[in-house]
Structure 1
Amino acid sequence: MLQRELIDSTQIEDGVCLELYRHGTDFMIVLGRNELMSTRMRFSEEQLAQLTIDRLGKEHARMLIGGYGMGFTYRAAAARLGEKAQIVVAEISDAIIDWAKGPMAELTGEGLSDPRLDLKICDVAALIDDANDGTCAKFDAILLDVDNGPDGIVRDANNRIYSRTGLAKARDALKPGGILAVWSAGPDPAFVKRLRDTGLEIVEWNVRSRPNKKGAHHIIWFARKS
């Protein structure tokens, strides 16, 4: 039986350590006993981008993606958007990008050299703040997958993104007709209420973690600015 092999680990905050494992041909990023993402369970993360673009109906969108992870959401967006699109990706840990360029280089391919990509090592909340104060342009779409969902387990600081104040800032960072899309590992009625309080038009979408309609049930909320 194949055993999981620890490839590398990185500390992103005091007491918060992420580990990269290989299991055969698959990779997974783990926090303690929680498997945050893996190459076997990628479909819902790809759908986060694909379904947002379908709803947006805009080929040359300016998109902000919170969390690079293994790059599934980013690559799905890059595959669907036009050559004049701009994809801003905020990743809190430079080690995640090192893993993408190193052990997972075959998975990453040439994606990180795409001229449409603006990769920033920072908290996505900082870029949302910049769009609010006029430091940078507003976005057609903001895609958030920075934790295990609105009930953050990776960083306490992620909770502010999903607070009423954080969601209002995300709304205001959108262009008219723009979409805020949020991935979650499971339902969260309290978060839905906060999201509705922003005045955005909400659609809740259930999706499986694998394209064969198997695997865990995940949720994506699409919130459109009128």
Structure 2
Amino acid sequence: MPLHSDTAAPLTLDRRQGPYGEVVLRRRGPHFEIIANGCFLMDTSDGRSERLLVDAALDALPADREEPSVLIGGLGVGFSLAHAAAQPRWGRITVVERERAVIEWHREGPLSAVSGEALADPRCEILHTDLVEYVHTTSVTDRYDALCLDIDNGPDWTVTDGNRSLYGRAGLTACRDRLRPGGVLAVWSAQPSAGFEEALRNAGFEKVRTEEIRVARGVPDVVHLGVNPA
């Protein structure tokens, strides 16, 4: 969810109150931004981080795993979904998004320019539900080869307090239970977190590592990765 500067004043296109607070869609120059409870989430100015999130998960899977399934946590501006749909190797592509407004901005609004082609792909589906609730309640028989999570600005900077539990041992164990043996968990973060790497290991993940995405200023964005033991 990287922040990119633009000198143009933002224009508010839609503002909604939902069960988790306020969400706003803005346009700044040629780009769109999503704001949640006053916190910048992401915009359409780049997309490298979102694409790396998907690529890192796919690259970490065994090369002989055919048509792997992926669960993308957070629809956002649609870059992760669009990038996954553009890759023929993926099989089932499921997106979990808790904000109805965000889904509607993609299905019927300006963000359809990013995700329209992906949403027409029969491999893709969007589930309107909360990711934290989903990983804790979904049947363990419904497992994925990869989980790509981008619902916060990182494990140490959550959009809502309820998301914090996802990055602790119980939440990460629930994520691991949703992965097939050898499956990959990839988590986007605005900054590296040694504590989160340790949390991944404590939850039973193997091959824990962090990939950096260089940004113009400040510390790199990163993707934290862990593998469910085979």
Q: CA deviation at 1:59?
A: 4.7
Q: Secondary structure at the match of 1:110?
A: helix
| Range with bigger deviation, 117-126 or 138-147 | 117-126
Is the counterpart of residue 128 in structure 1 residue 128 in structure 2? no
Is the counterpart of residue 89 in structure 1 residue 95 in structure 2? yes
AA aligned opposite 1:53:
L
- Return the match for 1:223 from 223, 226, 230: 226
List gaps (5 residues or longer) in structure 1.
none
CA–CA distance in 2 between the matches of 1:32 and 1:130?
26
Q: CA RMSD in A?
A: 2.0
Q: 1:158 to 1:78 in 2, by over 3 A?
A: same
AA aligned opposite 1:68:
L
AA aligned opposite 1:74:
L
The aligned counterpart of 1:7 is 13
CA–CA distance in 2 between the matches of 1:47 and 1:192?
18
CA–CA distance in 2 between the matches of 1:62 and 1:89?
11
AA aligned opposite 1:114:
D
AA aligned opposite 2:189:
S
Q: CA deviation at 1:130?
A: 4.3
AA aligned opposite 2:114:
L
Task: Give aligned-pair identity as a percent.
Answer: 35
CA–CA distance in 2 between the matches of 1:144 and 1:23?
26
Whether the 8 Å CA contact 1:27–1:38 is kept in 2: the answer is yes
Deviations 1:178-211 (A, max 9, x none): 00111001122322221111221201111135xx
Is the counterpart of residue 80 in structure 1 residue 83 in structure 2? no
Q: Give the TM-score normalised by structure 2.
A: 0.86
Is the counterpart of residue 40 in structure 1 residue 80 in structure 2? no
Q: 1:105 to 1:161 in 2, by over 3 A?
A: same
Moved over 4 A (4+): none
CA–CA distance in 1 between the matches of 2:79 and 2:213?
15
Whether the 8 Å CA contact 2:56–2:186 is kept in 1: the answer is no
Q: 1:169 to 1:2 in 2, by over 3 A?
A: closer
Q: Secondary structure at the match of 1:179?
A: strand
List gaps (5 residues or longer) in structure 2.
1-6
Q: 1:1-226 residue pairs with structure 2 within 5 A?
A: 2-13=8-19, 16-31=21-36, 34-56=39-61, 57=63, 58-82=65-89, 85-101=91-107, 102-131=109-138, 133-134=139-140, 136-201=141-206, 202-208=208-214, 214=216, 217-226=220-229
Q: Secondary structure at the match of 1:128?
A: helix
Q: 1:199 to 1:28 in 2, by over 3 A?
A: same
Q: CA deviation at 1:33?
A: 5.1
Whether the 8 Å CA contact 1:180–1:223 is kept in 2: the answer is yes
CA–CA distance in 1 between the matches of 2:180 and 2:49?
25
State the aligned residue count.
218
Q: CA deviation at 1:74?
A: 1.2
Q: Give the TM-score normalised by structure 1.
A: 0.88
CA–CA distance in 2 between the matches of 1:145 and 1:103?
21
